[in-house]
């Protein structure tokens, strides 16, 4: 009897050990990691993940440190005021990453030319306009330029670039998009934009296609007032939306929605429109990635909508990330009071999945990548190309 009990107990111990080994060896999936993280976050921390902030300083001071430690925002956009010196910029980004509980998005507007932030550093290259690249009609040069930009951004720790511009330059008069757009030809915009984005992502910087559903057919600057595009859905599908459809088919991970009013589609501007963000971009075009707003401090919407309406409407429209809210504290408070946790979880799941998939395996590069001979040659080849 005693021997039988020993055998039974031994068998149970062996079975438990086997089960333990099996459980231990079962690799945690990214989805498991997302759910585990989500479960341990407060509501305020979840909302903070939906914010990409701008801080007008070149150091992580006590105020910013407190914001990061309290909420761990989803990310920060780097601008010229954060780039007064190379070592200062590198430390600023490094300090943000060290303080953050979850890997932050470190974004920048680096299109080149008219929108060229990195050149604020004396050591960095001055990259050409998208228009200059478009004039070459050369996909190889588009890839080389994307690679060069990614390498220089990685010196300071940037992991997301708000480029390429997929707006088609159809304005009948000079516009602020004239030099930012690759071309007036939808095929050139598609091919070069996607090649440029592929190079960014092959070099550990995630591309952001902008400004959906197309900002090129207007001379109005959305930084100051609301652009209006009087086109039907059929006209947009045949032209403005072609580059975005192609980008989606090429695994677009981030799309930025612009502050553009298209009366035939919605009474609200695109950023705040469910008809444009959810019904068109997500449902009709089948986009599954993250949707980020254009900067929420721009005159196109702040002249018309209250801070509260901007946050609520953009999330209800289907946007996942709010770029440059006026105040992180008020944004969190407004969203907490007016948006369901279920809706918040929907976006935060996507944000965490994006971060765990694409931002975790990231390494900065040394200073030798700034304005090196290879980059100089690429820039010269683009600028000297015969039109």
Whether residue 265 contacts residue 280, with contact meaning beta carbons closer than 8 Å, is answered with yes
The domain containing residue 311 runs over which residues? 29-383
User: Closest Cα to residue 111, out of 86, 89, 131, 90?
Assistant: 131
Torsion angle of alpha carbons 294, 300, 306, 308, nearest 10°?
A: -10
Residues 6+ apart with CB under 8 A from 127: 110, 112, 113, 116, 118, 119, 145, 148, 149, 379
**Average pLDDT score over residue span 85-112:** 97
User: Is residue 326 in a domain?
Assistant: yes
Whether residue 52 contacts residue 322, with contact meaning beta carbons closer than 8 Å, is answered with yes
User: Is residue 20 in a domain?
Assistant: no
pLDDT tier at 300, thresholds 50, 70, 90:
confident
pLDDT score of 101 more than 50: yes
Neighbouring-strand partners of residue 322? 51
pLDDT score of 297 more than 50: yes
User: Is residue 12 in a domain?
Assistant: no
**Average pLDDT score over residue span 206-225:** 77
User: Is residue 3 in a domain?
Assistant: no
Q: What is the pLDDT of residues 252-283, one digit of tens each?
A: 999 999 999 999 999 999 999 999 999 999 99
pLDDT tier at 224, thresholds 50, 70, 90:
low
pLDDT tier at 22, thresholds 50, 70, 90:
very low
Give the CATH number, domain containing residue 239. Answer: 3.20.20.300
User: Is residue 23 in a domain?
Assistant: no
Q: Domain count of the chain?
A: 1
Q: What is the maximum alpha-carbon separation in the chain?
A: 98
User: Closest Cα to residue 237, out of 262, 273, 202?
Assistant: 262
Q: Give the H/E segment covering residue 106.
A: strand 105-108
Please report, in angstroms and rounded to a whole number, the separation of the first and last CA atoms in the chain: 95
Q: What is the pLDDT of residues 154-199, one digit of tens each?
A: 999 999 999 999 999 876 566 667 889 999 999 999 999 999 999 9
For 301, the token pair is 């919407």
Our CA angle for 295, 296, 298, nearest 5°, is: 80
Residues 6+ apart with CB under 8 A from 37: 102, 352
User: Closest Cα to residue 385, out of 135, 127, 181, 111?
Assistant: 135
For 98, the token pair is 């060290």
Q: Is the peptide bond before 214 cis (omega within 30 degrees of 0)?
A: no
Q: What is the pLDDT of residues 328-361, one digit of tens each?
A: 999 999 999 999 999 999 999 999 999 999 999 9
pLDDT tier at 27, thresholds 50, 70, 90:
confident
**Average pLDDT score over residue span 294-317:** 92
pLDDT score of 305 more than 90: yes
- Please give the distance of CA 72 from its chain centroid, rounded to a whole number: 17
| Cβ atoms < 10 Å from Cβ of 376 | 12
User: Is residue 311 in a domain?
Assistant: yes
pLDDT score of 246 more than 80: yes
User: Closest Cα to residue 322, out of 34, 53, 42?
Assistant: 53
User: Is residue 21 in a domain?
Assistant: no
User: Is residue 201 in a domain?
Assistant: yes
| Backbone φ, ψ for residue 363 (5° rounding) | -130, 135
| Backbone φ, ψ for residue 77 (5° rounding) | -100, 135
């Amino acid at each position: 009897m005693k021997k039988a009990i020993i055998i039974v107990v031994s068998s149970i111990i062996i079975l438990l050990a086997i089960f333990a080994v099996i459980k231990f060896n079962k690799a945690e999936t990214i989805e498991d990691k997302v759910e585990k993280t989500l479960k341990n976050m407060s509501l305020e921390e979840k909302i903070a993940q939906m914010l990409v902030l701008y801080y007008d300083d070149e150091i992580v001071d006590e105020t910013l440190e407190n914001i990061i430690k309290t909420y761990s925002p989803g990310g920060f956009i780097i601008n010229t005021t954060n780039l007064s010196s190379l070592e200062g910029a590198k430390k600023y980004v490094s300090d943000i990453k060290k303080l953050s509980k979850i890997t932050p998005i470190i974004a920048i507007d680096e299109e080149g030319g008219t929108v060229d932030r990195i050149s604020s550093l004396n050591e960095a290259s001055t990259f050409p306009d998208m228009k200059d690249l478009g004039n070459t009609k050369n996909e190889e040069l588009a890839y080389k330029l994307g690679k060069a930009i990614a390498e220089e951004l990685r010196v300071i720790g940037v992991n997301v670039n708000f480029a390429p511009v997929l707006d088609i330059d159809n304005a009948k008069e000079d516009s602020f998009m004239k030099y930012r757009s690759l071309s007036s030809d939808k095929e050139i915009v598609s091919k070069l934009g996607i090649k440029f984005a592929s190079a960014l992502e092959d070099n550990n910087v995630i591309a952001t296609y902008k400004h959906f559903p197309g900002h090129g057919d207007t001379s109005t600057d959305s930084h100051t007032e609301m652009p209006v595009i009087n086109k039907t859905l059929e006209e947009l599908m045949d032209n403005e939306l072609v580059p975005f459809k192609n980008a989606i088919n090429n695994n677009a991970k981030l799309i930025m929605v612009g502050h553009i009013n298209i009366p035939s589609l919605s009474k609200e501007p695109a950023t705040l429109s469910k008809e444009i963000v959810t019904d068109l971009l997500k449902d009709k075009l089948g986009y599954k990635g993250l949707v980020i707003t254009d900067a929420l401090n721009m005159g196109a919407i702040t002249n018309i909508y209250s801070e509260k309406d901007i946050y609520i409407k953009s999330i209800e429209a289907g946007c996942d990330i709010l770029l440059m809210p006026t105040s992180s504290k008020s944004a969190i408070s407004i969203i907490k009071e007016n948006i369901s946790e279920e809706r918040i979880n929907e976006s935060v799941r996507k944000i965490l999945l994006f971060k765990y998939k694409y931002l975790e395996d990231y390494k900065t590069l040394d200073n030798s990548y700034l304005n090196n001979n290879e980059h100089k040659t690429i820039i010269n080849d683009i600028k000297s190309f015969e039109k």
